[in-house]
Amino acid sequence: MDARLAELLALLELERLEVNIFRGASHDIGSPQVFGGQVLGQALRAACATVEPSRTSHSLHAYFLQRGDFNAPIVYFVDRSRDGHSFSTRRVTAIQHGAQIFHMSASFQVPQPGVEHQIVMPDVPPPESLPDSAVPPRATLEALPEKMRQFWARARPFEFRMIEPLDLAHPHKAPPRQHIWIRAVDRVPDDDALHRSLLAYVSDFHLLNTATLPHALLFLSGKLILASIDHAMWFHWPLRVDEWFLYAIDSPSASGSRGFSRGAVFTRDGRLVASTAQEGLLRVLETPAS
């Protein structure tokens, strides 16, 4: 297996300390704090470990309370809130250095038939016609500030092919929407719960920065502070993250130093398999941050 993907899968394998208590390692991906997708994925894995395997996750709602330290492990406490006839609910609290850094509610359901409908997948070019945009070209990286360069230069366990490519070194105002083909860089084991946790992990990429596109000139100024506040996700159908899927993101609003984005995840054949929503901090400083 590709080393990048193997490292991520190992990150999602939690150590069970007690019946409802788990510990996960942290990983530095170049961001100033623990990547939010890591905590989402690990928290969902912890919740899944306390639910009957026949029940699959269909939604999660999470809040990021404070920055995580990627130099220290994270402990996850799972509260078995309810096990009903069809649904199970779990509440997960993430602790680091004795303080809560994150909490999440997740719901699980016994698969059941019902009425079906969905929106139509956007008409976009296929991934094979687009260049890999996971790592920007060398000239672009060299033009970025050091902290941004560290983040964007990291090799990822996922491929990204952007329909609307970003010019990170010379940003310009653009409509707040993105369409991105994504897939894991190698084959993932046949475990539906694992694929959902990996989708939760990668769903945190590009959501918040979509809200910055109409304000692109601030992105490199050092005056724009970005941080995820919350993250919600709904799983409509099973999917494989090692097959191409389209992440269609838009940002309907920014106000009150907050930006709101939402995303739709489509399989290659057009099935809507998941939806996301996130609000994040978009705070503009009078002077650049140190």
Strand partners, 106: 60, 90
CA angle 66, 40, 84 (to 5 degrees): 115
How far is Cα 42 from Cα 233, in angstroms, rounded to an integer?
15
- State the catalytic residue, choosing from 228, 251, 261, 275: 228
Distances (CA, A) of 78 to 15, 63, 87, 214: 13, 15, 16, 39
How far is Cα 34 from Cα 245, in angstroms, rounded to an integer?
25
Told to judge if 186 belongs to the known catalytic residues of this protein, a careful annotator would answer no
Helix (H) or strand (E) holding 40: helix 36-48
Helices (H), 67-176: 138-142, 146-153
How far is Cα 34 from Cα 285, in angstroms, rounded to an integer?
23
How far is Cα 39 from Cα 21, in angstroms, rounded to an integer?
15
- State the catalytic residue, choosing from 96, 107, 178, 204: 204
How far is Cα 263 from Cα 179, in angstroms, rounded to an integer?
9
Distances (CA, A) of 197 to 63, 185, 244: 17, 16, 16
Told to judge if 228 belongs to the known catalytic residues of this protein, a careful annotator would answer yes
Distances (CA, A) of 287 to 157, 223, 224, 283: 35, 6, 10, 12
Told to judge if 278 belongs to the known catalytic residues of this protein, a careful annotator would answer yes
Answer for the pair 14, 41: CB distance below 8 angstroms, yes or no: no
- State the catalytic residue, choosing from 88, 96, 197, 278: 278
CA angle 7, 14, 91 (to 5 degrees): 125
Backbone angles phi, psi at 280, to 5 degrees: -140, 160
Helix (H) or strand (E) holding 192: helix 192-202
Catalytic residue ranges? 204, 228, 278
